[in-house]
Chains A and B, each alone.
Chain A
């Protein structure tokens, strides 16, 4: 029958059968993968907003901010995962390990994105907003950020999608998520290569990334009706 067939076949195309066989586990990993990818971006954005605002407001902060975040990004993710627990006094495979490491990456990426987004607000618009009497905070939230949405959303897309792939790497060191499928594939490849879990992992990761991407694109469209008005004229 199919079950036996699919488990035994090592053809890459049998990933679907593999999924059906291990559905409960795979769905759980999919869910873990989903929130592990998203939460760091959300927290990252919350931290990046004030930092990005500061480096926009105090121009001299921008170059060091960009250099530091660039440097952070060059740390291999696996190294960061391994370093986080000892640095923060957590036990290895602590559930916070992945979110903390990925938040670092997200902040590194988004600080610059927020600063560039705020810089995309035309100077005369910012001047006019000040002149009509906006105070600093409402200027930021009611004028500058809404206008920066397209730039910030583009950064969120990059951050979210790259998080999906980095979460998978954490799976190979034992964290519960879709990355475990690659680990399984490797362990089941005893006599010859065993592809189904590996292909399943790739397919689910790609689908997840695509879904995030579409949602962000859709959300951006909802938040920026004024941009469509321009394009559609």
Chain B
């Protein structure tokens, strides 16, 4: 547990970066500090490991006053990840990761074994060990940064916009892996970002800060989307917060309609009059692959191939969120969102209006469609 007790930071030039902040980051959870640029997020974070000393107030690490722990000792027990990873350019990847174990006096072999383990854990191939940071992409460097922070297995991790500098696809992937790691490790994490979507995706609780370093709201992501305390938070959370809040509501078991399908490699069926011409294509394992538009391709006797498929629709999982279901319906070329079981087999389909009906009347579940 990390607890800010009326922390204020005034820089020598008079800037009040953080103003009497009271905040508790519970053990084993991700607390996200989010807010516009300059609202004091980095300052708050760096006061935890004493890279910046507060002007007044105290920060507690469990029952210890951080101000009374020697700075270097405190820091070796706190993992720290920053935007551009900040890897040591003159050291190989493995030695970068082993930095804190070396500092703690572990013997070289043990430190390297541990570092190699971590490289694997963050999803980097073993042969990267001997490379230098400049030989890695931004996303890979960031993984090394995370591995370095985890090396001595610190109970606490501080992360300052760790995924902001990588491209969106990689960022998404890094975020997912980060959540997976955290579910295994259960660290106490304070995570800083200016990106509200990231805050909502990653946070167990989110602290919204306003410029001047004042806490505007501390809440779970769902609460933040549903009940922002004031206009600032509502504005920051965004106009589409209603839609995004759906990510936190589940519909239980979705009642889907049965969807006629055709298998990859089977002959293209002749168009039938009653259907709209869209036919769902599945593979041998009954997993949806994409949509086939009848009459568009496939002369007599042709078989269904990958090349004929319209992909693009997202899949919703049984038991998943309403947002995913709505998204599947809206993104489907046929207008029918594809729902799959947890093992990936086709469950059925659902239209956007059916999802909307579910949103409006969560209970009881609507009647099965004809």
Name A's B-contacting residues (CB within 8 A). 122, 124-125, 127-135, 143, 146-147, 224-226, 229-230, 233
Contact = CB atoms under 8 A, between A and B. Distances in A.
A127 B103 contact: no
Interface residues of B, number: 31
Contacts of A146: 90
Contact of B88 (A129, A130, A135): A129
A224 B148 contact: no
B185 interface: no
B141 to A, nearest CB: 11
Interface of B: 49, 51, 71-76, 78, 80, 82-91, 99-100, 103, 131-135, 145, 148, 158
24 contacts: A124-B82, A124-B84, A124-B85, A124-B86, A125-B89, A127-B51, A127-B86, A128-B86, A128-B88, A128-B145, A129-B86, A131-B80, A132-B75, A132-B148, A133-B71, A133-B73, A143-B88, A147-B90, A225-B132, A226-B91, A226-B132, A226-B133, A229-B132, A233-B135
Contact of A128 (B73, B74, B80): B80
B91 A128 contact: no
Contacts of A125: 86-89
A230 B148 CA distance: 21
B134 A229 contact: yes
Nearest to A229: B132
Contacts, number: 74
Contacts of B75: 130-133
A230 B134 contact: yes
Contacts of B84: 122, 124
Contacts of B131: 229
B103 A133 contact: yes
Leading 8 A-B pairs by shortest Cβ distance: A128-B86, A131-B80, A124-B86, A133-B76, A133-B75, A230-B134, A229-B132, A226-B132
Contacts of B100: 132-133
A138 B49 CA distance: 19
B42 to A, nearest CB: 10
A133 to B, nearest CB: 4
A230 B72 CA distance: 31
Contact of B134 (A130, A143, A226): A226
Nearest to B75: A133
Contact of B135 (A131, A135, A224, A230): A230
Contacts of B73: 133
Contacts of B87: 125, 128
Contact of B132 (A134, A135, A143, A230): A230
